[in-house]
Amino acid sequence: MSRRDQQEAVAAVERAMVAIRRSQSRRSLSRMAPPDGDKPIDPTLFGVLDTIEADDRPCAVNDIAAALGVDQPRASRLALRAEEAGLVAREADPTDRRRTLLTLTGLGREQLDRTHRMRQALFAQVMADWPDADRTEFARLITTFVASFTALTTAAE
């Protein structure tokens, strides 16, 4: 592959990533109803739940702030809203009683599961006419891309 072809491939990836970001904006995803017809979760609160789920452990508010790229006061407000909605619970940090940690409630886990099912159904629909091998290869490539991108951007912090 020539240098120009490589540059064009990288430019195509950049354009595709921008298009994905735009198409998965909070507004567009929140307009989509879950398959069960229930009201979708507030996408700003989904970020809090998603962070706790991704860490696979209780999270402090500063963990939420870092993951969402927001300041501590904004993360605190989001955590409070999620708590008031019954999606998360606060518990004392066993290593530092002055800190509180956020954990998913049963309702929070249920909301996450519903949202994952909705998105996966959407992605399955988008790829429905793709050959099985293409879906598998795309999953491998995008997972590798995201892991490499995360490693690079985390190292830069």
How confident is the prediction along the chain (157 residues), in pLDDT tens digits per residue? 899 989 999 999 999 988 887 777 655 555 555 555 566 677 788 889 999 999 888 999 999 999 888 999 999 999 999 999 999 999 998 888 888 999 999 999 999 998 888 889 989 999 999 999 999 999 999 999 999 988 888 777 6
For 95, counting Cβ atoms within 10 Å of its Cβ (0-12 exposed, 13-18 middle, 19+ buried), the class is: exposed
Q: Which residue type sits at 14?
A: E
Please tell me the distance from the alpha carbon of residue 109 to that of residue 116, in angstroms, as a whole number: 10
CATH code given to domain 39-126: 1.10.10.10
pLDDT digits (tens, 9 = 90+) for 30-65: 555 555 556 667 778 888 999 999 988 899 999 999
**pLDDT at position 33:** 56
For 59, counting Cβ atoms within 10 Å of its Cβ (0-12 exposed, 13-18 middle, 19+ buried), the class is: buried
Q: Which residue type sits at 33?
A: A
Residue 53, helix vs strand vs coil: helix
Rounded to two decimals, the pTM is 0.75
